[in-house]
Chain A
Amino acid sequence: MSIVEITNISKSFGPVKAVDDVSFNIEQGELFGLLGPNGAGKTTAIRCMLDIFKPDTGSVAILGGAMNEAKKDHIGYMPEDRGLYQDITLERCLNYLGSLKGLSPAQVKQSSEIFLKRFDLTAHKTKKVKELSKGMQQKAQIIATLLHKPDLLIVDEPFSGLDPLNTQLVKDLLREQHQQGVTIILCSHQMNLVEELCERIVLIDHGRTVLYGSLDKIRRRFSGHAVSVQTRDTLPSLPRVERIETINGSFKLHLAPGSQPQEVLRLLVEQNINLDSFKISVPTLDEIFIRVVKNEGEGL
């Protein structure tokens, strides 16, 4: 069952088309990656999803239909830029944001105490938000997003400003939420983390969908553009190979467009290269991202 259905939405601001005919679905309980370079239209798509902006065309269905006030209490949204009141205490800020999600003061207190303890912020709850470090504020923002136990969690760059320890903490928290059945939309530039956490992704560039689907399938589709070779011999220059990269004693051969790994294997055998291993290189999401964004149209 789809918890979010985005169908052909477009949104323009004056002459700028921020989102152009974007469609994707997110299933219930899924950990979904929403990716794109800066200014690609991710945030606008999220704002359309959350009914902050109305799309010019297309439709958005969320939690089984059009957005309404009641549904807002089931959604947790953490924007890329921290959105906390700076001049009040962390405790009061969480109380207010929790109360706007329909929680009673007792429920906010109970929920925030658990998260504050987990994020090691209990000792800082009486400090003004502006007195907290960037990392602490990021953690506070995550707490504010989770206080009301949302069914749908939208987190935009949740790892920004966090050290490796806290990154791990947030990763674990997202996994835990996912295991509890919470649907998560993760927007991040850190492709390794998206790769690690997400099952499916959509990649938006210049407002358009350029990649969409299961991460495995996308990786498979983009594999075959390079092969990894391990040999003690020196590799000669090979036709059908654009570039050879040395990585930790092995070679990564980037194939020319239209070349097949089998052809390269045949050439290596013909040239009597002693191969210790030969395998088709599966591209990382980072590589796919760069490739798709650089050569738009290669996706989908």
Chain B
Amino acid sequence: MIKTWRVALHEYQRHVFNRRFLVGLLSVPFMMVVMIGLIFLTISMENKTRAVGYVDRSGLLAQPLPAPPVEKPNKPVEILAYSDEAAANAALQADEIQVYYLLPADYLSAGKLKVVHVQAVQSPARQQFYNFLAVNLLSGLDAQVSNRILSGDEIIVQSVDGSREVSSESSWLGLFIPILAALGFVIAMFTAGGYLMQSVVEEKENRTMEVILTSVSPNQFMAGKIIADVSIGLTQIFAWLVFIIIGIKVGAQSIEILRGIQVSPQVTLLCLVILLPTFIMVSAFMALIGATVSEAREGQQMIGLISLPIWIPYMLIGLIIESPNSPLAVGLSLFPLTSSLTMLIRQGVTIIPAWQIATSALILVASAAGSIWLARRAFRLGMLRYGKRLAWREIFARRGAGL
């Protein structure tokens, strides 16, 4: 057993303490920072801070209450009152305001509002004016009632057996976080798996394997490699998590919504029971590919065959979100190669029945064990085949011969 750990440690150090790994590790958070930066830049460019005007003929805003505070990163827009339309129009022409609203005398009964602008008004400014209007419309009510109406409700959706709950407050985050986690997981799984496949091919090519196998058994060697592969992937995921947590902590100081981010125990549990066996299964497939092919390029092509079904849930994300409990979504949740992504996507939009999680986890554990068994056979048959590819039928056909 100790030799398995020595193989694992060597593989881990060889790949993790490597410039290529560090570049890969940092490139994802770097890209995320760039993307988030671009989003903020777009928001700030969209966020015209020029004042908004209004002309009130209804008398509703004769003694207006101030607009409610604005959530960051949006900036507050000044709301200016004009006595008549000509004054408002002059201000608009002089570029002092970006838009003005005209509340007709019958506004309260008719509910019609006129808006005048040169260019289409940006949504944050429009929203702030509507909030200002809502505050004043509700000014006669009790403050608590008025606040409740303005804030809206948080709906907690509970499963029939009462075991699981989803909050409407975190709905978009609840969908976004598992999808992001799944994306990071798949990237880490294939990055680490790529290292594993390549190292097996290299060890065949440069004959290192022959030396190693006079010290350890093929099973110890392969087990060590799979442990290293999973550890490399988890290191990558852990490092990204650290970056994300730091990002959220820093961002939460100025972005209100980031303060509410929480990862539920259900998501954590789901990640453990679904993602871990998936990772082991894919690692074993990578070892199998490494053992069967004669060169790394050929192996990369075969990785494509494995990765294609794994990405299917992303291609069908619209259908899954729309009908998260449809036979298609349930079927994809139970199929080993698609279950991890499907489960995480569904987690964000529905309550997945416990039996489906348990069944999927069991199928994945069985698939991981099966793929390790296959990889072990391929490894023993193909480990010393230099420059010659191992046919798949040989893996299944050769019962006992040479094994």
Give chain A's interface residues, CB within 8 Å of chain B.
47, 50, 52-54, 56, 69, 72-73, 75, 77-79, 81-88, 96-97, 99-101, 144
Contact between chains at A96 and B10 (CB < 8 Å)? yes
Q: What are 8 sample pairs from A and B whose C-beta atoms fall under 8 A apart?
A: A50-B213, A54-B402, A83-B207, A83-B212, A85-B206, A86-B206, A99-B6, A100-B216
CA distance A78 to B209 in the complex (A): 12
Residues of A within 8 A of B78 (CB): none
Interface string of B189-218 (1 = CB under 8 A from A): 000000000000000001111111111110
Instruction: Tell me, rounded to whole Å, the shortest Cβ–Cβ distance linking B189 to chain A.
Output: 23
Instruction: Tell me, rounded to whole Å, the shortest Cβ–Cβ distance linking B203 to chain A.
Output: 8
Residues of B within 8 A of A86 (CB): 206
Residue B403 is within 8 A (CB to CB) of chain A in the complex: yes
CA distance A207 to B163 in the complex (A): 69
Residues of B within 8 A of A73 (CB): 215
Q: A96-B6, A100-B3, A100-B6 are in contact. Are A50 and B217 (CB under 8 A)?
A: no
Instruction: Tell me, rounded to whole Å, the shortest Cβ–Cβ distance linking A70 to chain B.
Output: 11
Which of B10, B208, B213 makes the CB contact (< 8 A) with A84? Answer: B208
Contact between chains at A82 and B216 (CB < 8 Å)? no
Which of B208, B216, B402 makes the CB contact (< 8 A) with A72? Answer: B216
Residues of A within 8 A of B214 (CB): 50, 52, 72, 75, 77
Of chain A, the residue at the smallest CB distance from B401 is A56
Of chain A, the residue at the smallest CB distance from B385 is A13
Contact between chains at B217 and A83 (CB < 8 Å)? no
Which of A53, A56, A83, A99 makes the CB contact (< 8 A) with B208? Answer: A83
Contact between chains at B206 and A100 (CB < 8 Å)? no
Give chain B's interface residues, CB within 8 Å of chain A.
3, 6-7, 10, 14, 206-217, 220, 384, 401-403
Which of B7, B14, B210, B403 makes the CB contact (< 8 A) with A79? Answer: B210
Residues of B within 8 A of A99 (CB): 6, 10
CA distance A78 to B402 in the complex (A): 22
Q: Which 4 A-B pairs have the closest CB atoms?
A: A83-B211, A100-B215, A83-B207, A81-B207
CA distance A73 to B215 in the complex (A): 6
Instruction: Tell me, rounded to whole Å, the shortest Cβ–Cβ distance linking A165 to chain B.
Output: 25
Instruction: Tell me, rounded to whole Å, the shortest Cβ–Cβ distance linking A77 to chain B.
Output: 4
Of chain A, the residue at the smallest CB distance from B388 is A13
Q: Which of A75, A99, A101 has the most CB of B within 10 A?
A: A99
Of chain B, the residue at the smallest CB distance from A47 is B384
Of chain B, the residue at the smallest CB distance from A75 is B214
Residues of B within 8 A of A77 (CB): 210-211, 214
Instruction: Tell me, rounded to whole Å, the shortest Cβ–Cβ distance linking A232 to chain B.
Output: 56
Contact between chains at B206 and A83 (CB < 8 Å)? yes
Residues of A within 8 A of B401 (CB): 56
CA distance A292 to B73 in the complex (A): 89
CA distance A69 to B3 in the complex (A): 10
Instruction: Tell me, rounded to whole Å, the shortest Cβ–Cβ distance linking A131 to chain B.
Output: 15
Contact between chains at B208 and A69 (CB < 8 Å)? no
CA distance A2 to B284 in the complex (A): 41
Which of B209, B210, B215 makes the CB contact (< 8 A) with A101? Answer: B215
Of chain A, the residue at the smallest CB distance from B18 is A87
Q: Which of A50, A78, A79, A82 has the most CB of B within 10 A?
A: A79
Contact between chains at B211 and A72 (CB < 8 Å)? no
CA distance A69 to B209 in the complex (A): 16
Instruction: Tell me, rounded to whole Å, the shortest Cβ–Cβ distance linking A88 to chain B.
Output: 6
Which of A47, A72, A78 makes the CB contact (< 8 A) with B215? Answer: A72
Of chain B, the residue at the smallest CB distance from A11 is B402
CA distance A285 to B89 in the complex (A): 111
CA distance A82 to B209 in the complex (A): 10
Instruction: Tell me, rounded to whole Å, the shortest Cβ–Cβ distance linking A137 to chain B.
Output: 11
Q: A47-B384, A83-B206, A99-B6 are in contact. Are A52 and B211 (CB under 8 A)?
A: no
Instruction: Tell me, rounded to whole Å, the shortest Cβ–Cβ distance linking A38 to chain B.
Output: 14
Instruction: Tell me, rounded to whole Å, the shortest Cβ–Cβ distance linking B272 to chain A.
Output: 32
Q: Which of A73, A78, A96, A97 has the most CB of B within 10 A?
A: A96
